[in-house]
């Protein structure tokens, strides 16, 4: 028996919308990462990008469970000595809510060229409007 691999022309990419309002950030991220990788399809292949496009709306309304709102820190480093910047989750939500959701999803994707290719299919918006109506996205439910 021969294993069949989907060719580039056989891969059908659909668009999905996830409403992040009142949903846990980790659940949104794991659901989105699964769809971006294509693990929800029977044609999933680990070394091919068979995933779909994902649009996340209402990123500013995503919920952090437990004490993460006050304790979680987002860190980045400039590369210079003493260049560590730490931003608490509460402040990150006020200033850059889209970045919070993007980082959560990016952390669940593979850390390779293929993962970067998958990440490019992600669109995150702070409000409930998005400019992708022409793609006819399907609504996706996330467990609360």
Runs of H (alpha helix) within 17-112: 25-37, 68-71, 89-95, 97-106
Order of strands, sheet of 138-140, starting from the edge strand that comes earlier in the sequence: 122-124, 53-57, 15-19, 138-140
Q: For residues 77 and 85, is the Cβ–Cβ distance under 8 A?
A: yes
Quote the number of domains for the chain: 1
Q: Is residue 130 part of a domain?
A: yes
User: Average model confidence (pLDDT) for the chain?
Assistant: 94
pLDDT band at 143 (very low <50, low <70, confident <90, very high): confident
Q: What is the pLDDT of residues 46-62, one digit of tens each?
A: 999 999 999 999 999 99
Domain that holds residue 123: 15-64+94-140
Tell me if 24 is assigned to some domain: yes
How many Å from the N-terminal Cα to the C-terminal Cα in the chain? 43
Q: What is the CATH number of the domain that holds 135?
A: 3.90.1180.10
pLDDT at 144 over 80: no
Evaluate whether residue 79 is within a structural domain: no
Counting residues of the chain whose pLDDT is more than 90, the rounded percentage is 89
* 42 domain-assigned: yes
DSSP state of 137: P
Look up the pTM and report it.
0.92
- pLDDT over 90 (residue 14): yes
Assess if residue 113 is contained within a domain: yes
Whether 86 is in a domain gets the answer: no
What is the reported pLDDT for 84? 98
Going by their DSSP bridges, the two strands 53-57 and 15-19 should be labelled as parallel
Q: What is the pLDDT of residues 125-135, one digit of tens each?
A: 999 999 999 99
51-100 pLDDT, tens per residue?
Answer: 999 999 999 999 999 999 999 999 999 999 999 999 999 999 999 999 99
Q: Is residue 5 part of a domain?
A: no
């Amino acid at each position: 028996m021969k294993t069949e691999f989907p060719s580039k022309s056989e891969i059908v990419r659909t668009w999905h919308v996830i409403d992040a309002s009142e949903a846990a950030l980790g659940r949104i991220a794991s659901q989105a990462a699964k769809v971006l990788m294509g693990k929800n399809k029977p044609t999933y292949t680990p070394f091919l990008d068979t995933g779909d496009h994902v649009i996340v709306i209402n990123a500013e309304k995503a919920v952090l469970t437990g004490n993460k709102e006050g304790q979680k820190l987002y860190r980045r480093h400039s590369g210079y000595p003493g260049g560590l910047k730490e931003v608490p989750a509460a402040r990150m939500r006020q200033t850059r809510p889209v970045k919070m959701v993007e980082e959560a999803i990016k952390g669940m994707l593979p850390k390779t060229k293929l993962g970067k290719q998958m990440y490019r299919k992600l669109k995150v918006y702070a409000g409930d409007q998005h400019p992708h109506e022409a793609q006819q996205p399907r609504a996706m439910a996330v467990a609360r």
